[in-house]
Chain A
């Protein structure tokens, strides 16, 4: 099983600042990596797929990069609505997949 890890566990950022989140896979997942945003009491929302492609309707302040085992999600200028938990997901063995434990972005 491919194990996903994320760092940091929690990130404290002020509005308007930049946030950089990391995700690592235990083995190569090529570019089969997605990022999700989840707010309390809500289902996850797909932000990024293919390691770097924004999903429909996702603001341009969200960007992502990486391939193989190392991936990064960047939020260029945090807005109040961006404070949430961000999880990465590999789907290299689609249609099965595994998620990382998440990074909580705090004010």
Chain B
């Protein structure tokens, strides 16, 4: 059974870089049928797509975050990563990783809370 698990610091200082990793287990990140994505949810708000990634390395970014985001993957470790730079309090959120199929996001990580504060 495919499982995803996010990891990374829960507290990041303003203007610094938020870095998270999603470990894929029970399956391979090199599947030809799937993309891998990051989604976030600010407290009390809706879900926001950050971007998505294919095992070839092709990445697609939310235009509103594109200038600050880099997605990457490590196929040898079956994991993919998010880096968001120049963070502010507005980046405080629960960050989820998920598997993206042709018909929606069918497997999600449990989410990790990231707070931006000095």
Contact = CB atoms under 8 A, between A and B. Distances in A.
B104 A96 contact: no
A20 B83 CA distance: 39
Contacts of A42: 110
B46 interface: yes
Nearest to B52: A95
A94 B49 CA distance: 11
A26 B78 CA distance: 37
Which of under 10, 10 to 19, 20 to 34, or 35 or more describes the interface residues of A? 20 to 34
Contacts of B45: 101
A87 B52 CA distance: 19
Contact of A46 (B54, B63, B96, B104): B104
B58 to A, nearest CB: 9
B104 A34 contact: yes
Given A55-B104, A87-B47, A101-B46, A95 B110 contact: no
A83 interface: no
B110 A43 contact: yes
23 contacts: A1-B63, A1-B64, A34-B105, A36-B47, A36-B104, A36-B105, A43-B98, A43-B109, A44-B96, A44-B108, A45-B108, A46-B105, A49-B103, A49-B104, A91-B104, A95-B35, A95-B60, A96-B49, A96-B62, A97-B49, A99-B47, A101-B45, A101-B46
